[in-house]
Amino acid sequence: MNALLIELILNSPVLLSKVETGDANTAETQNYIPGSAIRGMLISRHLKGKLGTLQTGDDFYELFFSGKLRFLNAYPCHRKNLERGLPAPLSLKTNKDDEETIYDLAIEEQTPDMLAKKGLDVFASQDISQKIKPRLQMRVHIDRGNRKHIKDQQNAVFGYLSLAAGQIYQAVILGDVNDLNNLKELVDAMPNALLGKSSQAEYGRVGLKAKIVPNWIEYKKGDEKSADKILVTALSPWLVRDPKTGAYSNSPVAIFGVEHYPQFSFVRTEVVGGFNRAWGLPLPQQMAIRAGSVFAYQYSAELLKVLQAFEESGIGERTIEGFGRIAVNWNKKEKIADFTEPSDKDNHSQSTTLTDKTDRVQAKRIVERLWRLQLESELTKNINDIDLSETIIPERAQLSRLRQIVLNALAENKPELVTTFLSGLKETAQKQYQRCRVHGLRLKDWLETNLSKTSDAFSAKSPTPVGGVNLDANEMAVIRTEFKLRYVAGVIHRMYQASKENGGKS
């Protein structure tokens, strides 16, 4: 199979909502990027064209709707070799006392009491030797409605559980080399894209890098010679209908022509949907066989030949969007030892050093974003850890003036503006600053200590290099100064709110 491999570097969190989340105020992302989203991104670029003209000729239909090309889901990459991961078979279970050793119950039955009942719910490397687990992050947002007339009843708190920034996913497009070259030109023309929802809230920013690979292999097969049964694993959701009722089914018997072994099969279903940007409406919801489901069949050379024909085309509906991918006899090992995720330490020590200028700029942006996420967490914790219950808070007029000076210093990244202001305080203000204590220090001393160059605030965490690229000392100093000033501004804001709640009484 000829394939166009597209690396998607998540420069910001990406949110591709599931159909069912169980909470009206929470949007939970899928742990992969659907092939329909990849196709939609490329359709948008094709229609815009290089000169902004609309192109809807035969090439448009041939590329995106004829079925000649298949847009497979983007799955997370292995941290070391950037190999595309695949949904782990649901037949894999861990021992309760040893989570690093897994057993494939589709091959050999085990004592149920010894194994964890819950599936792994991870991705696996192409030889099922290591697991790949996508990183998720939760962010809380507030919809304030009319910002000019804010009322408590209008505020809506909701959360986004999204794919964390800094990860690399890989999408695959299968088809003719000439068609793949046309799509590669679309990718190369604009190396950045938006995917998913809430792009105005800084979600969905990804970097793109494409290459064409002839004779691409989707997975590494196990040993078929010693097989007494055939194992078929779903590498993406399947949409299969019952020919008698027309309803979606949880078994592919209508396609394969034989029934599976129930005792060695592990099947789950899920509801799938989608969104049509042209209509501005969600797609109809459908019941699909979940990716990772395993079907076991009695060994038959004839059946094996049928299944191998489906490996390239896929089965069921919406195969053009990546549905219906199958693996035949993917895993034939009863026991897999040391099924762990590669550590960050190993990944950094053996990672490839980027040399391309564009790639290094992109990598530096990722390093900064990831480091800022760590500092944001530390900032929130430090501000909330300040105990103001016994603090004699200065008057609100003094706090307002101090806060404005800190915000001015933050805008210019110059903490010396605050220290200059403190040195020129009048006697009345100095008395209030001396009475107020934060972490056992007088307010003035606390401010000067936290804003000094020798302060150890926000210095414990350092940015993690990506591809041999890191921030230089000056860039790190500027960012640390920014967070020091934001820390001070946050504490002052808490003091102001406490004074306001107490009616101005300290």
Transcribe 315-366 into DSSP letters. SSS-GGGTTT-EEES----SEES---PPPHHHHHHHPPPP-SHHHHHHHHHH
Band (pLDDT 50/70/90 cuts) for residue 324 is very high
User: 28-42, 202-216, 445-459 — which is least confidently predicted?
Assistant: 445-459
Residues 126, 221: Cα–Cα separation, whole Å: 9
Band (pLDDT 50/70/90 cuts) for residue 75 is very high
Q: What is the share, in percent, of the chain residues with pLDDT greater than 70?
A: 85
* pLDDT(58) > 80: no
* pLDDT(111) > 90: no
pLDDT at 51: 43
Residues 483, 413: Cα–Cα separation, whole Å: 10
Q: Is 395 exposed, middle or buried (0-12, 13-18, 19+ CB in 10 A)?
A: middle
* pLDDT(225) > 60: no
Band (pLDDT 50/70/90 cuts) for residue 116 is low
* CA neighbor of 13 nearest in space, from 96, 170, 104, 135: 135
* pLDDT(194) > 60: yes
* Helix-, strand-, coil-residue percentages of the chain, each rounded to 5: 35, 25, 45
Residues 488, 486: Cα–Cα separation, whole Å: 5
Residue position matching structure tokens 């008057």: 395
Q: Which of 39-48, 52-61, 305-314, 462-471 has the highest mean pLDDT?
A: 305-314
- Give Cα 425 to chain centroid, integer Å: 49
Helix 357-384 to helix 473-501 angle (10° resolution) is 30
pLDDT at 185: 92
pLDDT at 145: 57
Alpha helix stretches (DSSP H) within 191-333: 253-256, 301-313
**pTM metric for this prediction:** 0.67
Beta bridge partners of 98: 95
* pLDDT(364) > 50: yes
Which is higher by pLDDT, 183 or 332? 183
Encode pLDDT of 285-311 as tens digits: 899 999 999 999 999 999 999 998 999
Give the strand pairing for 26-28 and 156-163. parallel
